[in-house]
Amino acid sequence: MLQKVLLMGKSGAGKTSMRSIIFANYLARDTMRLGATIDVEHSHVRFLGNLVLNLWDCGGQEAFMENYFESQRDHIFRNVQVLIYVFDIESRDLSKDIEYYASCLHAVRQNSKAAQIFCLVHKMDLIPEEQRDQVFLKRERELQSIAEPLELRIQCFKTSIWDETLYRAWSQMVYSLIPNRDSLQSHLEKLCAVCHADEVVLFERATFLVISNAVRSSHSDVHRHEKVSNIIKQFKLSCSKTQAQFSTMQVRNARYSAFIEGFTSTTYAMVIVSDPTIQPASTLINIEASRAHFESLIAQLNDVAPLRHNEQEPKNVVNARATGACRFGE
């Protein structure tokens, strides 16, 4: 399934840097050597097997932007599933940025009215921390006021390549493209319950973006998934430099046990367990027993038709504590 994603914004806003971090395994410091995008750079990113993101990274120089809205208007904005517009929070020409943004909204409304629209207020690390929320909310209200008369819904994120906010934004944007994602969510919740886990999180294998998560015990850190994504991805890059491959990670202490395991051919799973009566071996057996079921489930995600109820339920689930295990698909 091919999904057209437009990445737009003025030159220097940070579009190519964030794309390189998420999809090409760049470290933030390595993006300094990236040059400006010339016209449109096309790339196909395979996500969860059959989902392919047809990513159009559009150069933001004035000559290119004017061309997008005039001679290339239909070509650029036709059949768009997602528009991502990136704003440099310290742009020296905000009025021009807003003008281009408004032109994008009009073009999308004309050619791809059903497209989802996301706005990234980027380089927020340049704003003093105590002012970031206020600055972001002001910009968000301004962007919403432009979209509302066109009857378009937008979602805004504050982002920086230097922290977890970039992963959070891209995780939510990509998640919106996954068909039948409610089915995946319900199965993950069931796995979390039968394992007596505090939380189960599913990450896409290549990008380590969060696909889905199930929570049974609340946590105060709302950015914890993206922090894990960032840490593990950088650790994987360190492994590759020594010609080693990241496979699994376990952390155990007096408060909890955490397991990050290769789960399916396209995902990793993180399972957090704080109940001291649940043995680590039981959790590992549960993960192993559910792999085949989730492999089949994810393979069906890109089917157009929703999964039927009898296809959603595992054949047999045994709920067990301490030394037992849930067993999917037996």
Ramachandran category for residue 4: left, alpha or beta (phi over 0 → left; psi -120 to 50 → alpha)? beta
Structure confidence at residue 93 (pLDDT):
87
Structure confidence at residue 86 (pLDDT):
96
Distance, CA of 43 to CA of 26 (rounded, Å) = 16
Contact 52, 44 (CB under 8 A): yes
CA distances from 158 to 6, 123, 170, 274 (A): 18, 8, 11, 32
The single residue listed with the structure tokens 């943004």 is 101
What share of the chain has pLDDT > 70, as a percent? 91
Structure confidence at residue 4 (pLDDT):
93
- The 10s digit of each residue's pLDDT in 211-253 is 999 999 888 888 888 888 888 888 887 887 788 888 889 999 9
How many other CB atoms are there within 10 angstroms of residue 46's CB atom? 11
CA atoms within 13 A on the CB side of 153: 3
Where does the chain show beta strands of DSSP type E?
Answer: 2-8, 40-47, 51-58, 82-88, 116-122, 154-158, 199-204, 210-215, 248-252, 257-264, 267-273
Two structure tokens written together for 230: 């960032």
Structure confidence at residue 308 (pLDDT):
45
Q: Residue 183: which of 211, 142, 147, 220 has the closest Cα? A: 211
**What is the value of pTM for the model shown?**
0.83
What residues of the chain score a pLDDT lower than 50? 304-330
